[in-house]
Amino acid sequence: MKKIYGIIILAISLFLPVVVNAASGENFIASDYEMTTTSLGGATQTLNKDTNGNAIAYLGVSVNSGTVYEFNVTLYLNNLTYLNVIEESGWVGTIVNNGDGTLTARYTNATGVTAGKHRIAALTLKAVNTAEVCSMNLQNLTSAPKCEIVNNVYYNKSGAVVTETEYYKDCHPCEIVDGKYRGPNGEELTKEQFEVACPINNPQTGNFLPYFVIIAGIALAAGVYTITRRNSKIYNV
């Protein structure tokens, strides 16, 4: 009996995700396009103003090892107001103005970036008082939300910003969410349409995968156990 328990555990473990070591990188603010003057080490970055009182801040990441896929920070503005942002190729995300002198910046890169300094986005800002120094500093945030809606911004399973329909398709296919029936592509359905489009869905949990994994694991274990027992009988004859 101990054998079959061991085989069941082994079989189920085959379906579990593999844990890998995280990459090492440091987020920063740069005052110049070449990123020669940065806030690496947690320093506050002073920005240069033009004659109109505009300043540009470059957001970036310095990768030490591995591959970095995300950039998540709170930006603290000193004598600055936010105007707009232009992202570098490959980076997708949002800048949210929190209305309290801070911005929340969350970006993802599907292919990731490796060793070296990488620009992520260029922010255009306006000096509140052109006679005073303008500066910014940042505080790192945890990874981007996964399958969450934050400040009306939709994040999918990988933390990328997506549309509302893409969000429900990726995070809640064939589920009842907030009293609404969602189909396999995230579309809103009536109860009758839902029961036809999602016949195997569990209405209590909205998630069929865990049951599939357990059943598949047990079936695999039973098969291995049966073959093992049969071979054992053959050798004992």
**What pLDDT does residue 165 have?**
85
Residue with tokens 């000096």, as numbered in its chain? 127
User: What six digits make up the tokens of 107?
Assistant: 């970006």
Q: Which of 26, 96, 97 is nearest to 62 (CA)?
A: 26
Over residues 172-208, the pLDDT tens digits come to: 899 888 888 999 888 989 989 998 988 865 444 444 4
Q: Give the domain ranges of the chain.
A: 25-140
* Amino acid present at 73: V
Burial 25-45 (b: 16+ CB within 10 A, else e): bbbbbbbeeebebbbbeeeeb
The Cα 100–Cα 96 span in angstroms is 11
Predicted confidence (pLDDT) at residue 211 exceeds the cutoff of 60: no
Q: What dotted CATH number matches 25-140? A: 2.60.40.680
**Across residues 14-34, what is the average pLDDT?**
70
Give per-residue pLDDT as tens, 155-175.
888 777 788 888 898 898 998
> Measured at the alpha carbon of residue 45, what is the angle toward residues 44 and 47, in degrees to the nearest 5?
145
pTM for the structure as a whole: 0.57
Of 78-87, 123-132, 215-224, the one with minimum mean pLDDT is: 215-224
- Do the Cβ atoms of 58 and 31 come closer than 8 Å? yes
Q: What is the pLDDT of residues 55-113, one digit of tens each?
A: 999 999 999 889 999 899 999 999 999 999 999 999 998 899 998 999 999 998 989 99
